[in-house]
Amino acid sequence: MSQQDPFEKYLRAGFSGSITRRNALKLGGSLAFASTAGSLLAACGGSSSSATSSSSTADKWKQFSGTTLNFISENTSPSSAIAANSKPFTDLTGIKVNIQQMELGALVQKVALDFGSGNAQYHVIYADPYQVLAPFSKGLVDLNQFINDGSLPAVPKGINDFIPAQLEGAGRFMDPKALYALPYDCPTMIWIYRKDLFDKYGSQMQKDLGFDPTPSDNSTWEQYYQIADWFNKNAKADVPYGTGHQAKQYDSLMCDFSNVLWAYGGQYFKDEQTVGTIGTDKPGACMLDQPAAIQAATFYQKLLKIAHPGSTSWDWDGVGKALAEGQIAMAPEWHEYAASVEGGKFGGKWGYARLPKGPARSANIYGGTGIGINKNASDQLQKAAWLFVVWATSPDTQVMDLKSKVGGGTPTRTSVYELPEVQAAMKQNPSPMPNILSATAVNEAWKPENVGMRPKIPTWNQCDTIIFTELSKMLVANQAPDVTMKNIKAGIDKANKV
């Protein structure tokens, strides 16, 4: 960057002072923001040797200076990291961003009300593919209009740098050309376990159970059950329970169960791969009354009977805390909880693997989300929001997320995983990027044969509630698995007018 670059003073100002209000980021995270700004300027045609080009770049990033944006997000790690240090974006653009984080259910309600009012209180939307994008895609801008607008900053490295399955899963709905969101986070459920306990008890478990208990691609859900039961009966001095689950009567229960459903060969709808990626408004009849789904429900009920009793009151945060506090030896959990557990008293003692396989396959539910722009916002606010969307999903901001002490997210871009410092961080323990320690496992989970994509349909909010309500009856009131599956099918078919 040349001395004549008008942004240099802003970049320096953003990184020379004290860290922002949460005092949360390492200096490395701040430097990543500096790199981000430089990369973004270059992507827009900036040149370190051309004052004219630099001026043109300045115009692109400063043209909406003085604007205030409202970003509504689920309470996720990437949003926490950005909220902890959004000053560099403000310095770069002159735009202030108010970030409001909340539970997903509350977010869905607020977004629905905002879209319905037409007032655009929120300009940048955390567009969960299933609970926001599918039912409310008409309220979001097709981002292609900004991608093709030369007066606006370009997406660094282009949209092809996003992991393809995530770009489709988080960004598109029904129309394969329209793009409503850029991939922002990518939580995926994997097997998180106390490696030190498996090392300590592994030989005895293998002797007693007749198989190697070390989590691997060969591990099955039935073996997972036996391992958990063994810990319950033989390792109380070190850990109260073998397993725990996010089985609260909430969206988390649907997620936890879906891993088992797909592993056993069950599915919500026919042609589930298409229904779960590009999405549809006509999914057809629900398939949960089929034998594979009932078998999965029967196993899941059995598994939860030996799980930590707190499981039926836990969502993903409850499981994360139970792992970090040593209440359970292992759990299916979102991979981005690696930063949380590695930062706890058992840091350095964790292992990560894809989830066990069932009779059909290993299935690891993808929970990633993109960020989009409210179509009801004014033209100026939409374009200002585009600047934030580009910046927040840029490779260098994602590196900052990895370094964040508040447990930032993991990358949605291929190029970030290829960076030497990220590759090195995968091999360090403790790591300066703790979430990246789960990368090997999650990359296995993202393979087409292993990833689990829930249905992307407009009625999913209603279907999700039917699923976790009936599953809760099965777990808490001992409702029969076959009755549970048939009740869910009936409710979903009614919701979809089948």
pTM for this prediction: 0.86
Specify whether 269 is located in the same domain as 221: yes
Within-domain flag for 2 = no
Specify whether 111 is located in the same domain as 218: no
Higher pLDDT, 14 or 238: 238
Within-domain flag for 430 = no
Distance between CA atoms of residues 104 and 94, nearest Å: 30
Within-domain flag for 435 = no
Q: How confident is the model at residue 13 (pLDDT cuts 50, 70, 90)?
A: very low
Q: What mean pLDDT comes out for the span 45-65?
A: 63
Specify whether 88 is located in the same domain as 14: yes
Specify whether 97 is located in the same domain as 206: no
Q: What pLDDT, in 10s, does the model give residues 117-162?
A: 999 999 999 999 999 999 999 999 999 999 999 999 999 999 999 9
Specify whether 175 is located in the same domain as 290: no
> How many domains are there within the chain?
2
Specify whether 302 is located in the same domain as 449: yes
What is the full DSSP assignment across 129-189? IIIIIHHHGGGB--THHHHT-TTSPPPTT-GGGB-HHHHHHHH-SS-SS----EEEE--BE
Q: What mean pLDDT comes out for the span 280-302?
A: 98
Distance between CA atoms of residues 128 and 446, nearest Å: 18
Model pLDDT, residue 2:
35
Q: How confident is the model at residue 56 (pLDDT cuts 50, 70, 90)?
A: confident
The CA-based diameter of the chain, rounded to the nearest angstrom, is 74
Q: What pLDDT, in 10s, does the model give residues 354-396?
A: 999 999 999 999 999 999 999 999 999 999 999 999 999 999 8
Specify whether 196 is located in the same domain as 96: no
Specify whether 224 is located in the same domain as 209: yes
Q: Which of 418, 434, 452 is the last residue of a domain?
A: 418
Q: How confident is the model at residue 50 (pLDDT cuts 50, 70, 90)?
A: very low
Instruction: State which residues form the domain around 414.
Output: 8-186+368-418
The rounded mean pLDDT for the chain is 89
Specify whether 112 is located in the same domain as 29: yes
Distance between CA atoms of residues 214 and 231, nearest Å: 13
Nearest to 84 by CA among 412, 435, 406: 406
* Region of residue 45 (phi > 0: left; psi between -120 and 50: alpha; otherwise: beta): left
Specify whether 94 is located in the same domain as 113: yes
Model pLDDT, residue 55:
54
Specify whether 326 is located in the same domain as 460: yes
Specify whether 374 is located in the same domain as 477: no
Within-domain flag for 427 = no
Within-domain flag for 425 = no
Within-domain flag for 198 = yes
